[in-house]
Amino acid sequence: MKRVHAVIVGAGAAGGIVAKQLSSAGLTVVLLERGPWYTAADCRKDDLRNQRTTVLGNAFGPEDEGNPRVWIDARGAAHIVLPSEGSYQNNAACVGGGTLSYGAMAWRFLPQDFRMRSTYGAPEGSSLEDWPIGYDDLEPFYDQAEYEIGVSGDDSPTPFHSPRRRSLPMPPLPPNREFAILEPAAKRLGLHPFPIPMLRNSVPYNGRGPCMRCRWCVGFACEVDAKNGSQNTVIPAALATGNCELRTRSMVKEILTDNRGRARGVSYFDANGRLQEQLSDIVVVSACAIESARLLLNSKSRLFPNGLGNRYDQVGRNLQGHHYTGALGFFDFDTYDDIGPGASIAVTDYNHGTPGLCGGGLLANEFIRLPIHTLDRLPPGTPRWGPGHKQAMRAWHRRTIIVMGPTQQIPTAEGRVTLDPWVKDRWGLPVARLQGNSHPHTFEIGEVQAARAAAWLKEAGAMQTALMAGRPEIVSSGQHQAGTCRMGDDPRASVVNRYCRLHDVDNVFVIDGSVHVNNGGFNPVLTIMAIAYFASDALLRSWKGTSFRS
Amino acid sequence: MTRRQFMAAGAMASAAWAAGCSSHRGPWESLTERQAQTLAAICDQIVPADDYPSASQAGVVTYIDRQLARHYRRHRKAYALGLEQADSIGATRCGVRLAQASPPQQLQVVMAIEQQNAAFFDLVRKHTLEGYYGSPRHGGNRDAVSWRMLGVSQPPLLGRAQYDLSKGPRS
């Protein structure tokens, strides 16, 4: 196979952007993706089989067959888990990755999110740290993501937003009924509600139409292609340069290194299961936090016996996502208007500045619910089955609002990804083994946030509320997974430098949520995209024409 | 996909279709007729009929039966044992199989199952509610009856839905 300048592993949020940036600059790129390329015709609107409700499997991968992981529970027992099970912490396996089927909230982190340790100090037992870069370093690239991928929204009603150079390229979608109910209530509480920024067209943009506001949104591919992911923006742009080749159903086995300790490419199993080698000057790992760590750990050689970039046992540590908490409110009038995406209004007043808490998180109303989501979200005391349950479904499905949000997760070094010594996937590769948990302070923040959500719902007229806050005995990661290849200046305490380059190997980059030092009190995708633009920019500035020099 | 793979996939799909048509097992893919009757009795306690259909009337037994041959293959044994136990509880309490007991007796038996075999009951409860409130394409929620019951229209936006949600590839 022809040698190329760069191989990128994973065609998700970050991989797609890096592919476009490098191929537009004239580098030859091979983009490898383990899943297939779905289109709007694969939307299917199946309530039982999509990327959020997976009772009959994942719609956008991986399949349950041949892709296990191992989860170590709080008592140390190992469980083999399948991709459609929650403890697998799945994201997706397809072109676009999570961005094909996500809810598409497009948050910028706040400046304090990059300085968590110096703002709050690290709770004992946590691995809370500052980022080596600040908000100002990323601002231009947040802007680039918002315009190139496409974000609708308006954060001007709140003072609690990050400084921005210009407003978003699209106005917010018109408010739905939940917005109308929650907005005045938030204002009465002295909060600053505003429409959620979304990677979703509210008007025609980028050659595609606007959202048709259907019920099947988060978890589904968009039927009218109004949801903006890498699969309908940067990846087609990368392919159009003529410099980028996308190979789907290609599972990377390992990063190959030469005897001087530099990467020379990757080996991967192609769509027919044959082992191939793709040689390159640069390897970019963008496989999402769990799989990126797994690939580095699986890339063992004489010079790197513990895996690539893992000299100081840092790869796979600080696994984090978001601990979601909130409240469910029951109303004596219809709150449901059957208008998607449903999630419409947020406050960021609670992200920082609460005495005694290391951060906080946004609160927003939940995405539109399908009937299947109401089954266990009925008033406390409702019968679990029988005529009482059926009546309660009829009484409440259209009369609930959920307010919740991602709590700033306080990471620990013990929440981590390692390789399972026994279990292999369908290609014979050791699978990821997940263990540990978030720091317990995370749950304290979550409980405060849940009470705040309940107060908002009560102010909005809820007759009754039920708190949604637990202390799960499992590290949350899932679609928001991050942290496993932490960015930092100290090679002993981090995996990549501030430009996402491995400390150990100067032509290998990790560019995805793995590099997040912490994950903010926000859905992380826009930050993943901004980092992809930022790291691509740095990479291209040090690219010397025909080869990569450090 | 190469042309050869495409032809092979098509051939396999039509073979599977033909096999489905010529099944000698009656209407069920995984269950025996007797198991299906017992399951229907349990499902109909979980979602009983009122002015809207019960679980079995809306096709939930079909849903579970199909999934036991597909995504829920791993639960086949649990169903075989659980349904047998349900019948034996029915026989002890009412002297007949569960499906033949009167509705009040069936309720008593299902409550006993919930007590004595909570794992099996929770499984059937979960699958019944999924089937009843999930997508019609999997066999349950026939004619989107539960969605109409909840007042959520289908299709949601007339003239915009490109797909007939009840047709197309089944699970």
- Per residue in A94-106, pLDDT (tens digit) is 999 999 999 999 9
Predicted confidence band at A548 (pLDDT cuts at 50, 70, 90)?
low
Contact criterion met (CB < 8 Å) for A212 and B171: no
* Per-residue pLDDT, A314: 98
In this prediction, residues A454-466 reach a mean pLDDT of 98
Q: What pLDDT score was predicted for residue B25?
A: 55
- φ, ψ for residue A70, nearest 5 deg: -120, 130
Domains and CATH numbers, chain A: 4-367+399-548 (3.50.50.60)
Q: What whole-number distance in Å separates Cα of residue B49 and Cα of residue A310?
A: 61
- Asked if pLDDT for residue B1 goes beyond 90, the answer is no
Burial of A354 (0-12, 13-18, 19+ CB in 10 A): middle
> Which pLDDT does position B3 carry in this prediction?
44
**Beta bridge pairs of residue A269:** A251, A275
Rg (alpha carbons) of chain B, rounded to whole number: 18
CB contact under 8 A, A45 and B163: yes
Q: Helix or strand or coil: residue A395?
A: helix
Q: Give the containing element (helix H, strand E) for A197.
A: none
Mean of per-residue pLDDT scores for chain A: 96
Nearest-CB residue to B135 (from A46, A338, A385): A46
Residue B146: pLDDT over 50: yes
> Is residue B6 predicted with pLDDT exceeding 50?
no
Asked if the Cβ–Cβ distance from A385 to B46 is below 8 Å, we say yes
The partner residue sitting opposite A387, judged by closest CB among B48, B156, B160, is B48
Question: Rounded distance, CA A528 to CA A199, Å?
Answer: 13
Residue A470 reports pLDDT greater than 60:
yes
The answer to whether the CB of A469 falls within 8 A of the CB of A447 is yes
Residue in A39, A91, A33 with CA at minimum distance from that of residue A61 = A91
Q: Which residue has the higher pLDDT, B168 or A93?
A: A93
Which two three-digit tokens encode residue A450? 């849940």
- Does the pLDDT value for residue B49 go beyond 70? yes
**A390 with B47: Cβ contact below 8 A:** yes
**Is there a contact between B137 and A46 (Cβ–Cβ < 8 Å)?**
yes
The pLDDT assigned to A40 comes to: 73
Closest CA to A550 of A510, A504, A512: A504
Q: Do A199 and A99 touch, CB atoms closer than 8 A?
A: yes
Residue B13: pLDDT above 60? Answer: no
pLDDT of residue A39: 78
Q: With an 8 Å Cβ cutoff, are B138 and A56 in contact?
A: yes
- Distance from the Cα of B136 to chain A's closest Cα (Å) equals 9
The DSSP H or E segment spanning A362 is none
Considering only the beta carbons, identify the residue of B52, B133, B151 that sits closest to A372.
Answer: B133
Measured from the Cβ of residue A549, the count of other Cβ atoms closer than 10 Å reads: 10
pLDDT at B168 over 50: no
Per-residue pLDDT averaged across A111-127, rounded?
Answer: 97
Q: How far apart are the first and last CA of chain B?
A: 22
A-to-B residue pairs, Cβ atoms closer than 8 angstroms: 90
CB A20 within 8 A of CB A235: yes
Cα separation, A200 vs A210, whole angstroms: 8
- pLDDT number for residue A41: 73
Q: Exposed, middle or buried by CB within 10 Å (0-12, 13-18, 19+), for B19?
A: exposed
Give me the mean pLDDT over the B49-72 stretch.
97
Residue B125 Cα, gap to closest chain A Cα (Å): 7
A437-446 mean pLDDT: 96
For A372-413, the pLDDT digits (tens) are: 999 999 999 999 999 999 999 999 999 999 999 999 999 999
CA distance A57 to A207: 32
* Geometric angle at alpha carbon A407, from A16 and A330, rounded to 5°: 110
The predicted model gives B62-78 an average pLDDT of: 96
Distance CA A485, CA A319 (A): 9
**Gap from B96 CA to chain A (nearest CA, Å):** 22
Q: Please indicate whether, in this complex, the C-beta atoms of B48 and A47 are within 8 angstroms of each other.
A: no
Q: How far is A117 from chain B (nearest CA, A)?
A: 44
Which sign, positive or negative, has the C-alpha torsion A275, A276, A281, A284?
A: negative
Mean pLDDT over each residue of chain B, to the nearest integer: 83
Cβ(A123)–Cβ(A439) below 8 Å: yes
The tally of CA atoms less than 13 A away on the side-chain side of residue A232 is 25
Is the per-residue pLDDT at B2 higher than 90? no
ipTM for this prediction? 0.93
d(CA A70, CA A66): 13
pLDDT in tens, A39-92: 777 888 899 999 999 999 999 999 999 999 999 999 999 999 999 999 999 999
Choose the mutation target among B129, B149, B165, B167 for the interface with A, i.e. most A CBs under 10 Å.
B129
Contact present, A12 and A512 (Cβ < 8 Å) = yes
Q: What is the pLDDT of residue A520?
A: 96
Q: Measured between CA atoms, how close is B34 to chain A, in angstroms?
A: 23
A interface with B, Cβ–Cβ < 8 A, is 43-49, 55-57, 64, 212-215, 223, 336, 338, 371-372, 374-375, 384-387, 389-390, 393-394, 397-398
Best mutation target among A44, A45, A177, A396 (most B Cβ atoms within 10 Å) is A45
Angle between helices B118-133 and B33-46 (to 10 degrees): 80
Task: Give A-chain residues touching B45 at CB under 8 angstroms.
Answer: 385-386
Check whether B156 has a pLDDT greater than 60.
Answer: no
Residues of chain B contacting residue A398, judged by C-beta atoms under 8 Å apart: 150-152
In chain B, residues with a C-beta closer than 8 Å to the C-beta of A44 are: 163, 168
Q: What's the pLDDT score for residue B150?
A: 96
Element housing A1 (H / E) = none
Q: DSSP strand E in A259-399: where? A: 263-269, 275-285, 323-330, 345-347, 363-365
A512 Cβ contact list (under 8 Å, min separation 6):
A10, A12, A13, A14, A15, A285, A286, A287, A288, A289, A292, A528, A531, A532
Q: What is the pLDDT of residues A302-358, one digit of tens each?
A: 999 999 999 999 999 999 999 999 999 999 999 999 999 999 999 999 999 999 999
Query: In sequence order, what are the residues at sequence separation of 6 or more whose Cβ sits closer than 8 angstroms to the Cβ of residue A233?
Result: A16, A148, A149, A150, A206
| CA torsion through residues A376, A472, A323, A430, sign | negative
The pLDDT, as a whole number, for residue A1 is 81
Residue of B125, B128, B152 for testing the chain A interface, max A β-carbons within 10 Å: B152
Predicted pLDDT at A547: 62
Where are the domains positioned within chain B?
Answer: 27-148
Burial of residue A207, with CB atoms counted within 10 A of its CB: 0-12 exposed, 13-18 middle, 19 or more buried: exposed
* Alpha-carbon gap, residue A494 to A469, rounded angstroms: 32
Question: What does the block give as tokens for A302?
Answer: 């004489």
- pLDDT for the residue numbered B18: 41
Question: Per-residue confidence at A544, pLDDT binned at 50, 70, 90?
Answer: confident
Tokens standing for residue A516: 């997040």
pLDDT band at A122 (very low <50, low <70, confident <90, very high): very high
Average pLDDT on A14-18 reads 98
Band of the pLDDT at A282, cuts 50, 70, 90? very high
Residue A364 has pLDDT above 50, yes or no: yes
User: How far apart are the C-alpha atoms of A503 and A308, rounded to whole Å?
Assistant: 10
**What percentage of chain A reaches a pLDDT higher than 70?**
99
| Mean pLDDT to the nearest integer, A4-33 | 97
Q: How many angstroms separate the CA of residue B72 from the nearest CA in chain A?
A: 8
Cβ <8 Å between A338 and B46: no
pLDDT-based confidence at B153, cuts 50/70/90? confident
**Residue of chain A whose Cα is closest to the Cα of B157:** A214
Cβ-Cβ contacts under 8 Å, A43 against chain B: 163
H-type helices in B22-171, by residue range? 33-46, 60-68, 76-94, 103-116, 118-133, 145-150
| Nearest Cα residue to B109 out of B122, B90, B81 | B90
Rounded Cα distance between A170 and A202, Å, is 6
| pLDDT reported for residue A546 | 61
d(CA B39, CA A340): 36
Cβ neighbours of A136 (radius 10 Å): 11
- A64 contacts on B by Cβ (under 8 Å): 71
Record: contact B130-A394, CB cut-off 8 A: no
The amino acid present at A419, given as its one-letter code, is L
- pLDDT greater than 60 at residue B171: no
**What digits encode the pLDDT tens for the residues A208-265?**
999 989 899 999 999 889 999 999 999 999 999 999 999 999 999 999 999 999 999 9
CB contacts, 8 Å: A389 with chain B: 46-47
Residues of A in contact with B161 (CB under 8 A): 45, 214, 223
Distance CA A509, CA A485 (A): 10
Interface of B with A (CB under 8 A): 45-48, 50, 52, 67, 70-71, 107, 125-126, 128-130, 133-135, 137-138, 146-147, 149-153, 156-157, 160-163, 165, 168, 171
